[in-house]
């Protein structure tokens, strides 16, 4: 159930890889990321739907014919219906079951057990035994084989659908950056123009406004700006950035304006490289294959050994016809559907659920190791807290109502977590909120605002315990 897309690092000659892929049963050709990968998934899903459709139609008709036979059709119609079933099983056991044959051939070539071995055994032996019994007058199993293949194909399609849906939902570049627009500097015109993020290249100069998610890795051209880097570090407290410092995509601008020299864009950014692995699903498929192989190999060999013993003993007691019939039934019942469908589907849903809650699970070994965890250490503010500041003590009654109203109006223009804490603390009931003349950052020190003829400053300078909080918050000129 992989996406059949391989990432290859070429050292000398790329032509070696297609030859290597061909030797293990695959035809390799270069694809572009994004849209081309989606097209490949859609083409594979369409091919699988064709097989499901044919298997479903044939299985349905075979079961209707079998129902008539089981209901007591006379000899002529019984023979006719069985012959029609024998014809309808041909496309099911060949074209529809082809993916299982291909998987088994590859596993034999590389000497590894595969869960599809049991599936192919059931299909081949069930079909051949049915053709033999069709002329010998025994039981036929065309309806069981057709329904078995149809349900397996349908289950695989459902699994592929959920995996592809998960990939589409996590198409991070599209959801976070592609639809954004930024102000890009045009040296020829000597001014900024609005430009889609997709058109911005490394080396361009861009300008972002407060609240924007930064879509590029780059170097800051502004001094004393605050950005929220929680998506990268887990820290909810804004980080101060000076001229020349690196800024990474995914951060959120808390200050008014940021000028940035672009270094990398899209999936070449720091967060883009991580999210690309998620979008491709390569790490999921790689780990799913490892997990499936780990358990299904033991299971497949166990079933094969038990079936062999069962058939040998059954042949002695019941004869070969009775033995092979019961052996097929045993393998059919013990088909490792849990490894084929349940395990990958469970992990896919777990990864999806984690991603929606903000967790990126990069290695499925995590699910194996989590049961061994005895101690957990948290090292970042915001890991156990919500990053929501709260003023523990503040005697607002000692301030005039016009000062409280002015403080609220000024802090309303800032998105800083401390400004939000101040706004929540002020009781606005009965206050007349004045109109601001201006407000903004004091580089490296705090925030200011002007109301009427009064100027208020909110500074982050160290103070002693003897200084009242009103002295800390308020300095009116």
Quickly count: other Cβ atoms within 10 Å of residue 26's Cβ. Answer: 13
> Helix 75-91 and helix 35-70: axis angle, to 10°?
170
CA-CA distance, 148 to 126, in Å (whole number)?
Answer: 11
Question: Lowest mean pLDDT: which of 47-56, 162-171, 424-433, 437-446?
Answer: 162-171
Of 213, 220, 211, residue with least CA distance to 197: 213
Mean pLDDT across the chain: 77
Q: How much is the pLDDT for 163?
A: 63
Question: Lowest mean pLDDT: which of 79-83, 271-275, 306-310?
Answer: 271-275
CA-CA distance, 360 to 358, in Å (whole number)?
Answer: 7
Q: Which residues, in sequence order, are CB contacts of 187 under 8 Å at separation 6+?
A: none
- Termini Cα distance of the chain: 70
At 467, is the pLDDT very low, low, confident or very high (cuts 50, 70, 90)?
very low
304: left (phi over 0), alpha (psi -120 to 50) or beta: alpha
| Residue 219: pLDDT over 90 | yes
At 96, is the pLDDT very low, low, confident or very high (cuts 50, 70, 90)?
very high
Q: How much is the pLDDT for 178?
A: 64
Summarised one tens digit per residue, pLDDT across range 55-74 is 999 999 999 999 988 888 88
Q: What is the number of alpha carbons within 13 Å of residue 86 lying toward its C-beta?
A: 16
More confidently predicted of 18 and 455: 455
CA-CA distance, 416 to 315, in Å (whole number)?
Answer: 80
DSSP character at residue 476: B
Contact in structure between 257 and 207 (CB atoms under 8 Å): yes
| Residue 216: pLDDT over 50 | yes
| Residue 441: pLDDT over 80 | no
Q: Which residues, in sequence order, are CB contacts of 192 under 8 Å at separation 6+?
A: 183, 184, 185, 186, 207
Q: How much is the pLDDT for 473?
A: 46
The DSSP secondary structure of 147-213, one letter per residue, reads HHHHHHHHHHHHHHHHHHHHHHHT-HIIIIIIT-EEEEEETTTTEEEEEEGGG--TT-EEEEETTPB
The neighbouring-strand residues paired with 226 are 240
> Helix 282-318 and helix 343-356: axis angle, to 10°?
160
Q: What is the largest CA-CA distance in the chain?
A: 108
Q: How much is the pLDDT for 97?
A: 92
Summarised one tens digit per residue, pLDDT across range 117-155 is 778 888 888 888 888 888 877 778 888 889 989 988 887
Q: How much is the pLDDT for 412?
A: 85
What is the strand order of the sheet 216-220 is part of?
191-196, 181-186, 205-209, 257-265, 216-220, 246-247
Q: Cα-flanking dihedrals φ and ψ of residue 253, to 5°?
A: -75, 125
Summarised one tens digit per residue, pLDDT across range 335-385 is 666 566 666 667 777 777 777 776 767 666 777 788 888 888 776 555 566
H-state helical runs in 248-319: 270-280, 282-318
| Residue 293: pLDDT over 70 | no
pTM of the model: 0.54
Which tokens hold the place of 284? Answer: 């999921």
- Quote the percentage of the chain above a pLDDT of 70: 71
DSSP character at residue 396: G
Which tokens hold the place of 238? Answer: 């804004």
Contact in structure between 334 and 358 (CB atoms under 8 Å): no
Q: How much is the pLDDT for 69?
A: 87
CA-CA distance, 185 to 259, in Å (whole number)?
Answer: 10
Q: Is 470 buried (19+), middle (13-18) or exposed (0-12) by CB count in 10 A?
A: middle
| Residue 194: pLDDT over 80 | yes
| Residue 113: pLDDT over 90 | no
Query: What is the signed CA dihedral for 30, 1, 176, 185, rounded to 10 degrees?
Result: -10
Tracing tokens 């361009």 back to the chain, one arrives at 204
What's the whole-number mean pLDDT along residues 410-429? 80
CA angle 262, 266, 267 (to 5 degrees): 125
Q: Which residues, in sequence order, are CB contacts of 226 under 8 Å at separation 6+?
A: 238, 239, 240, 241, 253, 254, 255, 416, 441
CA-CA distance, 430 to 423, in Å (whole number)?
Answer: 15
Q: Is 203 buried (19+), middle (13-18) or exposed (0-12) by CB count in 10 A?
A: exposed
Contact in structure between 269 and 248 (CB atoms under 8 Å): yes
């Amino acid at each position: 159930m992989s996406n059949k897309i391989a990432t290859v690092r070429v050292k000398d000659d790329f032509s070696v890889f297609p030859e290597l892929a061909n030797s293990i049963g695959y035809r390799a050709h270069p694809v572009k990321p994004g849209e081309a990968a989606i097209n490949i998934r859609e083409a594979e899903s369409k091919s699988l739907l064709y097989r499901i459709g044919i298997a479903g139609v044939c299985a349905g008709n075979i079961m209707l014919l079998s129902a008539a036979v089981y209901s007591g059709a006379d000899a002529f119609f019984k023979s006719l219906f069985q012959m029609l079933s024998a014809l309808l099983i041909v496309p099911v056991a060949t074209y529809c079951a082809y993916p299982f044959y291909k998987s088994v051939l590859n596993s034999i070539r590389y000497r590894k057990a595969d869960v599809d071995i049991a599936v192919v055994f059931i299909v081949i032996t069930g079909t051949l035994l049915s053709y033999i019994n069709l002329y010998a007058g025994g039981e036929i199993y065309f309806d069981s084989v057709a329904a078995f293949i149809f349900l397996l194909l349908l289950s695989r399609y459902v699994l592929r659908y959920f995996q592809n849906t998960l990939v589409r939902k996590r198409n991070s570049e599209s959801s976070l950056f592609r639809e954004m627009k930024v102000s890009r500097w045009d040296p020829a015109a000597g001014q900024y123009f609005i430009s889609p993020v997709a058109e911005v290249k490394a080396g361009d100069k861009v300008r972002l406004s407060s609240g924007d998610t930064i879509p590029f890795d780059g170097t800051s051209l502004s001094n004393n700006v605050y950005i929220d880097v929680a998506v990268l570090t887990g820290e909810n407290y804004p980080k101060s950035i000076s001229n020349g410092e690196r800024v990474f995509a995914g951060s959120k601008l808390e200050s008014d304006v940021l000028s940035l020299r672009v270094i990398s864009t899209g999936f070449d950014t720091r967060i883009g490289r991580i999210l690309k692995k998620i979008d491709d699903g390569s790490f999921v498929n790689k780990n799913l294959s490892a997990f499936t192989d780990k358990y299904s190999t033991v299971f497949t060999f166990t079933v094969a050994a038990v079936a062999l013993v069962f058939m040998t003993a059954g042949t002695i007691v019941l004869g070969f016809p009775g033995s092979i019939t019961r052996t097929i039934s045993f393998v059919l019942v013990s088909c490792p559907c849990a490894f084929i469908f349940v395990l990958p589907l469970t992990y896919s849903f777990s990864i999806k659920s984690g991603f929606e809650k903000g967790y990126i699970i990069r290695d499925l070994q995590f699910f194996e190791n989590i049961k061994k965890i005895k101690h957990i250490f948290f090292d970042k503010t915001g890991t156990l807290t919500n990053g929501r500041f709260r003023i523990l003590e503040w005697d607002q009654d000692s301030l005039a109502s016009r000062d409280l109203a002015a403080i609220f109006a000024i802090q309303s223009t800032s998105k800083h977590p401390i400004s939000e804490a101040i706004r929540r603390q002020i009781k606005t009931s009965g206050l007349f909120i004045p109109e601001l003349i201006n407000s903004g950052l004091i580089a490296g020190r705090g925030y200011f605002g002007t109301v009427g003829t009064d100027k208020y400053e909110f500074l982050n300078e160290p103070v002693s315990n003897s200084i009242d909080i009103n002295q800390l918050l308020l300095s009116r000129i």
